[in-house]
Each structure stands twice: as structure tokens, then as C-alpha cells.
A and B are shown apart, each in its own frame.
Chain A
Amino acid sequence: MQDFGAAFRLAGHLLVSGDPDLLEIVARSLAVSLGAVLVACLIGLPLGALIGFLRFPGRRAIVVFLNALMGLPPVVIGLLVYMMLSRAGPLGPLGLLYTPTAMVIAQAVLVTPLVAALARQTVETLAAEYDEYFQSLAVPWHAALGALLWDGRSALVTVALAGFGRAIAEVGAVIIVGGNIDHLTRVMTTAIALETSKGDLALALALGMVLILLSVGVNAAVMGVRSRAVEAGHG
């Protein structure tokens, strides 16, 4: 217990003093995860919105598949992306393996189904509500889709935040494709795993605290967005 106490004190010191190593890892984690969420939103939001809005044969099967993808284990995604990016893989010539870009790709693959599935749900619910009005007004499909995305913006922001929460806390995929290389691909979760295995609990705890703070911050932001939307009658 004394070791734990010392580790907590040291972790606190690292945080308060702004330890350069710690800040570098936090900054890289944020950059990778925000990049991944950006890519995931660029792909997942329109994809989910289209699936939620359009009616076509096989749509139900696609929805089931999309929902299933949300539960894919990160290590499996890491493995698949590793195979794609490894020297023998189809994207091997790009030389992306063990780079932050590879980590962005892996996290984007992980988060895109989540963003698409939640966006689909949001847009579908709103589309059902607006359906008869839009039909009675003969609203063109692109205007209807734009209106659904705009009116569902509060919910879609929370979708993006949920995606960020999943990306920032993920370890399995980034450790496979990033390799946890110091000063290059080390992020908070992989650093925690490494430092814990080495018995250096202080840095692991300090990074864990940052992760928890980020998690609390993301959840607070989600609640803030939702309550503002409800107050404004947009929820």
C-alpha cells in the first residue's frame, strides 16, 4: 500500500509539474484520437444518415451488420489493419505501419461503425417523425437529408463525442499497428500498459488520471449538449 501511496504522489507531481514526457504522450493521444474521430465522422455520419433515411432492399441486413461491427474487439481490428499495412499487405508500400497515421487508421476503422450506427439511429428516428410532413411538402431527398442532419445536430455531436470516448480509451488496435514506440507512437493507453508491466506505476497512474479526466469531460460535454438541446426544444 505504501508503494501505491508513493505512486499516487509521484503521479500527482508529474501532472502538476507538467512533465514533458507525459504531456507529449497526452498530446499524441489527443491528436491520434481526434484525427480518427474526424475521419470516422466524415465517413460514418453521411453513411449512417443515408442508411437511416433511405429505404432499399437489404437495408435491415446492413443495419444488423453495422450494429454488429460496433462490438468488434479492437485487437481484431488492429490485426486486420496490421495485415493491410504490413509489408506483404495491399497497403504495405505506403510504409505506414508503426506510425501515428496507422494508429489513426486503426481507430477510425474502430470508431466509424459506432458513429454510423448511432447516426443511423438518430436520423431514422427523426425521419420517421418528419416523414409525412416532408411528403406532403414534396421535399427533395437531398433537402430532406440536410434538414434531418441539421435538426439532429445535437444528437450527432453526442455521437461524435461517444466515438472520441471509444477511440481515446482503446489500447488493443493502436498497440498492434503503432508498436508503442517511445516519442513516436506511444499514447496514453499503450504507455499505461507498458509502464504497468515494468512496475513503474507513477507514470501509468498519471496517464490513467488524465484518461479518467478526459472521460469525465466527454461525458459532461455529452450531458451539456443534451440538456441544452432539450432546453432549446431541439432534443
Chain B
Amino acid sequence: MADGTLPPVLTSSHPIGGLTPLRMTGVRLVRKGQVLLNIEDLTIGSAGVTVLLGPNGAGKSLLLRVADGLVRPDAGAVTWGGLAPDGTVRRRIGFVFQQPVLLRRSVRANLKFAMGISGLWDRRKADRALEDAGLAGLGDRPARVLSGGERQRLALARALVLDPEVLLLDEPTASLDPAAVAAVEGMIGRAVARGLKVVLVTHDIGQARRLADEVIFLHRGQITEQAAARLFFADPRSAAAKAYLSGLLIP
């Protein structure tokens, strides 16, 4: 991953003809006269971790939502392996939000609901997912009384237990302490090692350095740079990315 080597080839049970690459062409989103997103051409491949990096308000989270079909652009096309992001496609994509949306139920019941929707409920598999998330023994606890780190790991486990082909993560470690960040990153790392494609939004440069195989830098709703992580961090080409990496405050 961050050392420049790509993770192993996909080992998931999904058939060939999967959802990657993600392609966006001519995607444009305007609200109240302000251009929030303007993506001329974007392709995200099938391997490793792609990090969407940029300052607050750059359009990173919005791009992720447009990619998942949660927000419909005013213009342009979004496809996953040639398919539009409709409900069927969305069920093959995992999405973890910055503020995890947990049902007012027990930890295990949260997994049960997600798996039940896809007709995949399997208690042993759910318990294995909780174990992987470091939540073994908390299955019967109400999800909403968990700590911030536990909540985010539960949200991640709930997404991973569905065996998604792609995992979209919207700042999953924002407002978590270093230990909680390490636990979440550990889960992401293990999932990637199993061959899962991850698209991660962050404005944490350190996290991007640790996890990214590829970086897409956004500024004011536009992609200013897309490069392999090593190249990006060694020699960013766009002025905005240079300023951002050097710690300057960019508007």
C-alpha cells in the first residue's frame, strides 16, 4: 500500500465484470449559482486505496456521494464497470459515513439488518465480523452507547460483512483519537489485503501517506491532480496541492 506495492489481485467471490473502474465524465453539480463539483474526466481503477485529498469544502465527500448515486449530478455520467449507480449497484458498494449512522438496536442487530436486506444473514459470519472489528463480546450492547471509535468500527464491520466489491469511506477517522484511528486503519488495511478496492476521503495528510496507493487532489470542486501516492507526495504538481502539503492555508 503506502510502500508503493499494490495489494494482491481481488480474491472476492464476485464474478469477473465487477464494478471497477469507476468512471466520471463531465460531472457537474451547481447549487445556488456555485459550482460544487466539476469533474471533466475521472477513472479510478480496481486495486488498492485511492485517497481523495483536499481542504474542507473541496468537494471530496460530495464526489463520493455522487459516485455512490446518493447525489444526482446536474450533468455528466457516473458508471461503475459500465453500470449506473442504481440500487443494485449500490448494494455491491459499501459506504461508511463520517458520522456513522447506527440503528437504535444492538450491535449485532445492526449487522443483522444490513445482512437481512441483502438476504445474507448468517450469525456466525456476523460474529466473525465483530471479532475482526474488535467488538467481540459487545454484540448485545446497544449500538448507540458505544464509544466513537467503536461506533466507526461497527459501521465499517457492517459494510464489510456484506462482502462489497468497493468500499467508500468518508473521513472515517475524523474526530477519533490516535488509538481509534489505528484500529480503523487496521481494519481498512486487512480489507485491502484481502483484495478490496477502497476509496477514502480524508484531509489528514498523515493518513493519506499511510494508506494511499493513489491520490486524487481536489480543490474547489475540481481535480487538480491524480497520481500514484509516491509521486504525489514526492513532487506534487499543482500549486494547490503543493500549498496544502506544505501546510499553507489554502482558501
Contacts and interface: CB of A to CB of B under 8 A. Distances in A.
Among A126, A139, A143, A233, max chain B CB count under 10 A is at: A233
Interface string A218-235: 000000000000001110
B103 A130 contact: yes
B95 interface: yes
Contacts of A151: 103-105
Nearest to A150: B105
B142 A232 contact: yes
Given A137-B114, A147-B113, A232-B142, A132 B87 contact: no
Nearest to A139: B117
A232 B107 CA distance: 12
B101 interface: yes
Contacts of B65: 132
B156 to A, nearest CB: 13
A233 B150 CA distance: 14
B91 A137 contact: yes
A135 B90 contact: yes
Contacts of A129: 101
Contacts of A130: 101, 103
A136 B68 contact: yes
B97 interface: yes
Contact of A138 (B91, B97, B101, B142): B91
A133 B170 CA distance: 12
A202 to B, nearest CB: 48
- Main secondary structure, interface of A, reads helix
B76 to A, nearest CB: 20
Interface string A119-159: 00000001001101101111110010001000110000000
Q: Contact size class for A?
A: 10 to 19
Among A129, A130, A138, A234, max chain B CB count under 10 A is at: A138
Nearest to B162: A137
A213 to B, nearest CB: 32
B145 interface: yes
B101 A233 contact: no
Interface in B45-89: 65, 68, 70, 86-88
B142 A136 contact: no
A130 B70 CA distance: 13
A18 B21 CA distance: 78
B143 interface: yes
Given A130-B101, A133-B97, A136-B68, 10 more contacts: A132-B97, A132-B101, A133-B101, A136-B90, A137-B114, A138-B90, A147-B103, A147-B113, A151-B103, A233-B143
